[in-house]
């Protein structure tokens, strides 16, 4: 039986040193890639929480919080924060929104809801005193980069999102 020779560091091992160094470098690169993925998740760039996963659109009648980055088939929500003017809120979600998202719930429920050529319209009654947010439960239908428009009391704003698989 042939024994490996004794190396300069005193070990009697037969191993390809160049392969071992290559493997260590590859390991360190993988650590950096995984750390980068964790950082993206903490920032919210993989959906489901984090400072960059949601955005706010400002309207004259209030504001709309929406998921800028979402996950496919994962429930999410639109939050409408009406101003304290006391007038009814008319929300229109255009047809691109309806194609990209499934509307699952509305809390509080709308007084009226109807389909129109440009999408879905919902009218929420005026409340006295402090305004409570209107929460629309939504779920993305497919991965992609949908663009859509939301109208709040006649003011229309175009929005964009990313739906990750």
In the chain, where the domains are located = 13-43, 54-164
Give the 3-state secondary structure of 91-153: EEEEHHHHHHEEEEEEECCCCEEEEECCEEEEEECCCCCCCCCEEEEEEECCCECCEEEEEEC
pLDDT at residue 2 is higher than 90: no
* Across 144-160, average pLDDT: 95
Q: What average pLDDT does the structure give for the chain?
A: 90
pLDDT in tens, 97-143: 999 999 999 998 999 999 998 899 999 987 644 578 999 999 999 99
pTM: 0.78
Q: Could you tell me the fold of the domain covering 54-164? A: Immunoglobulin-like (2.60.40)
Task: Give percent above pLDDT 70 in the chain.
Answer: 97
């Amino acid at each position: 039986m042939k024994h490996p020779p004794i190396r300069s560091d005193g070990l009697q091992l037969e191993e390809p040193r160049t392969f071992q160094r290559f493997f260590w470098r590859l390991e360190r690169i993988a650590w950096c890639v995984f750390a980068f993925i964790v950082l993206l998740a903490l920032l919210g760039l993989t959906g489901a929480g984090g400072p960059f996963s949601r955005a706010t659109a400002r309207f004259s009648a209030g504001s709309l919080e929406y998921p800028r980055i979402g996950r496919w088939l994962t429930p999410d929500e639109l939050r409408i924060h009406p101003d304290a003017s006391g007038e009814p809120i008319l929300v229109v979600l255009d047809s691109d929104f309806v194609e990209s998202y499934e509307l699952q719930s509305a809390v509080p429920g709308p007084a009226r809801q109807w389909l129109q050529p440009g999408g879905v319209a919902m009218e929420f009654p005026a409340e006295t005193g402090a305004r409570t947010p209107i929460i629309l439960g939504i779920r993305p239908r497919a991965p992609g980069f949908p663009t859509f428009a939301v109208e709040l009391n006649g003011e229309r704003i175009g929005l964009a999102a990313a739906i990750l698989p």
